[in-house]
Amino acid sequence: MSEGRTELEKLGEFNLINHLTKKFIQKNKSTVLGIGDDAAIISMSNNKVKLVSTDLMIEGIHFDLTYMPLKHLGYKAVVINISDILAMNGTAEQITVSIAVSNRFPVEALEELYDGIHKACSIYNIDLVGGDTTSSLSGLSISITVIGTAEKKDVVSRSGAKENDLIITTGDLGAAYMGLQILEREKSIYNTNPKIQPDLDGHDYIIGRQLKPEARNDIILDLKKMNVKPTSMIDISDGLASEIIHLCKSSNVGCNVYDEKIPIDSKTSMTAIDFNLDPTTCALNGGEDYELLFTINQSDFEKVKGNPNMTIIGHITNPNDGIYFIDKSGNQIELKAQGWNHFNE
């Protein structure tokens, strides 16, 4: 955070928006008018559709500012929205960002947050086209709506999986969850004894996955290049188990997913074991990986085979067969979502 502290009331709501958004440059041709009017204007062309998704992040529920730098938070808030558009096989182009903050935050804190938002917008080629800034009685809330585009014929929903399709996940799973465990552990040690410095050594990868996830637009580009259109797709925000269930229920199919196939980084596994957790459980229920989960027709198998970013973890079955996880001993276990149900925490 830069030095000095500017109280929010010094700037006022309109100036604050202007102040925080002045360095955002519009990049997409479809953005006709961005911030500064009652609504943004987005142009359209035939054969294309707009994709819209929204996400609300609440301090104390979705993030903890004890260990989440505001710049990372801004970056992550944008990325998780982009991920939803990618999961439709589309391209994210515009976002609106609304924030509510208490007077606890100086303007400099919001500048940090918007620096992160700006960085994500730059890297992912997104235009910030609107938003709302208001005060809250306590804490910080961030609400982002993302708008994307796709050719009508390219859109992939959750509901197209068919029997015998292959189930693929990108990247590796469970790392963001283990990163969170490390951060929570160090926070609790710090709270007990503030003199002890946090020990994050050797955990860069998993902490990075928690604090600064990326959206897999590379995968969407790869699939286009490989001429593969998934039959269904979803992003893994709430844990693999929860997403598989969503996908199967939306598609009205069953599945077999194999424990031994689930890609887990060795750093994730080692940390899980340190915490007396089963790495597979972390991958299934951990959440926040923002990888893509999709299904393809078996005829596309040769095209994806050997792709280092894609792992086949199972196949789609008849709806009557149920949604099953096959453990390393070959036991069939019915999958139940545990995911991030915030109301149960």
Show contacts with a copy of itself in window 107-136 (CB under 8 A). Answer: 129-132, 134-136
Nearest 5 degrees, angle CA 308-CA 312-CA 318? Answer: 165
Residue with Cβ nearer a copy of itself (36 or 202): 36
Segment 30 to 69, residues that bind a copy of itself, using CB under 8 A: 32-33, 36-46, 48-56, 58-62
CB of residue 22 to a copy of itself, shortest distance in Å = 15
Residue with Cβ nearer a copy of itself (144 or 207): 144
CB of residue 341 to a copy of itself, shortest distance in Å = 5
Residue with Cβ nearer a copy of itself (44 or 193): 44
CB of residue 49 to a copy of itself, shortest distance in Å = 5
**CB atoms inside a 10 Å sphere around CB 54:** 14
Query: What is the rounded CA–CA span in Å between residue 312 and residue 51?
Result: 27
The reply to whether 235 sits near a copy of itself by the rule CB under 8 A is: yes
Query: What is the rounded CA–CA span in Å between residue 161 and residue 283?
Result: 22
x/- map, 246-275, a copy of itself, by CB under 8 A: x---x-------------------------
Query: What is the rounded CA–CA span in Å between residue 197 and residue 330?
Result: 44
Q: 118: phi > 0 → left, psi -120 to 50 → alpha, else beta; which?
A: alpha
Segment 80 to 109, residues that bind a copy of itself, using CB under 8 A: 83-85, 87-88, 90, 94, 96, 98-100, 103
3-state secondary structure of 21: helix
Residue with Cβ nearer a copy of itself (99 or 182): 99
Residue with Cβ nearer a copy of itself (50 or 303): 50
Query: What is the rounded CA–CA span in Å between residue 150 and residue 140?
Result: 33
CB of residue 71 to a copy of itself, shortest distance in Å = 21
**Applying CB under 8 A, what is the total number of residues that bind a copy of itself?**
78
Residue with Cβ nearer a copy of itself (58 or 264): 58
The reply to whether 234 sits near a copy of itself by the rule CB under 8 A is: yes
**CB atoms inside a 10 Å sphere around CB 189:** 14
How would you classify the pairing of strands 232-236 and 291-296?
antiparallel
Segment 293 to 332, residues that bind a copy of itself, using CB under 8 A: none
Query: What is the rounded CA–CA span in Å between residue 216 and residue 161?
Result: 21
CB of residue 112 to a copy of itself, shortest distance in Å = 18
Segment 141 to 180, residues that bind a copy of itself, using CB under 8 A: 141, 143, 145-148, 152, 155, 157-159
Query: Which one-letter amino acid corresponds to residue 326?
Result: I
CB of residue 97 to a copy of itself, shortest distance in Å = 8
Q: Which tokens sit at 118? A: 């700006």
Residue with Cβ nearer a copy of itself (68 or 129): 129
Residue with Cβ nearer a copy of itself (55 or 163): 55
Q: Which tokens sit at 193? A: 């004894």
Query: What is the rounded CA–CA span in Å between residue 255 and residue 1?
Result: 48
Q: Decide if 92 contacts 126 (C-beta within 8 A).
A: yes
211 φ, ψ (degrees, to nearest 5): -85, -30
Residue with Cβ nearer a copy of itself (13 or 199): 13
Query: What is the rounded CA–CA span in Å between residue 145 and residue 50?
Result: 13
3-state secondary structure of 201: coil
CB of residue 52 to a copy of itself, shortest distance in Å = 4
In the list 192, 276, 299, 344, the residue contacting a copy of itself (rule: CB under 8 A) is 344
Query: What is the rounded CA–CA span in Å between residue 134 and residue 94?
Result: 21
The reply to whether 29 sits near a copy of itself by the rule CB under 8 A is: no
Closest Cα partner for 296 from 230, 217, 209? Answer: 230
CB of residue 3 to a copy of itself, shortest distance in Å = 22
